[in-house]
Structure 1
Amino acid sequence: MGEEMVRERDARAYEAVHDAADFTELKRRYKNFVVPWTIAFMAWYLAYVACNNWARGFMSHKIGGSHINVALVFGLLQFVSTFVIAALYGRFANRKLDPLAHGLNAKYKRERRR
């Protein structure tokens, strides 16, 4: 089979998947998860940065009389929130995205065989 025929077959298969309602739904679900969580995380991160710059008294406040202060706790919570969002995304993707993606992958493979 010539290279041009392979490209044409692959392009038709891609177009068939791209035009599928499941592909549109997959993109919609992905955006509906990613955009709000990205905004939330960026707001949280920028609040941390802003507090470190302009609320130094608050950030240097000791917690429980120890050497741990609010800034250290906020910094650690940045890591925690990153892992929590990643775990939530993993669960979301397994339940809501992967079934659609597997179906679209099967459709692509069928279309390529034509």
Structure 2
Amino acid sequence: MSATDESPRGSSPSGAAPTPYEQMQASPEFKALRNRWRRYIFLMSGLFLGWFLVYVLLADFAPSVVNARIGGSNFTVGLLLGLLQFVSTFLIAVLYAKFAEKNIDPDSEALRAQVEEKL
């Protein structure tokens, strides 16, 4: 079989029966699972990128705000915001783990079991 006999993305050659994995990809359950995952990922990515953009724009266009000292110490608003970037990254990872455990993993396990039954 030549490389031209296969269609893009590794699917079956034309006329051949689809593999169990390809059948699973075409199922409404898989599409719903994928859409649920994408909605969550795009939402969290957008929120994080927006939060990061606010931090960068404040540093660039409002240096007096970022350089303001907190409570008479050497700790500034910019330093606090920078540290909160790390906290928000960790929080997003924890939230994703909980979301996946509750909303993604059970359905993906069921789909995997269906595919393994057909193998």
**Shorter chain as normaliser: what TM range?**
0.7 to 0.9
Q: Structure 1 CA distance, aligned partners of 2:106 and 2:44? A: 22
Q: Which amino acid counterpart does residue 40 of structure 1 have in structure 2?
A: L
Q: Which amino acid counterpart does residue 22 of structure 1 have in structure 2?
A: E
- Would you say 1:50 and 2:60 are equivalent positions? no
The residue that corresponds to 1:21 in the other structure is: 28
Q: Which has the higher contact order (CA 8 A, sep 6+)?
A: 1
Q: Structure 1 CA distance, aligned partners of 2:95 and 2:37? A: 13
State the TM-score, normalized to the length of structure 1: 0.86
Please identify which structure carries the higher helix content.
1
Query: RMSD between aligned alpha carbons?
Result: 1.9
State the TM-score, normalized to the length of structure 2: 0.82
Listed as ranges, the gaps of 5+ residues in structure 2 are 1-11, 13-17
Listed as ranges, the gaps of 5+ residues in structure 1 are 1-7
- Would you say 1:91 and 2:98 are equivalent positions? yes
Ranges of 4+ aligned residues in structure 1 off by more than 4 Å: none
Could you tell me the percent identity over the aligned residues? Answer: 35
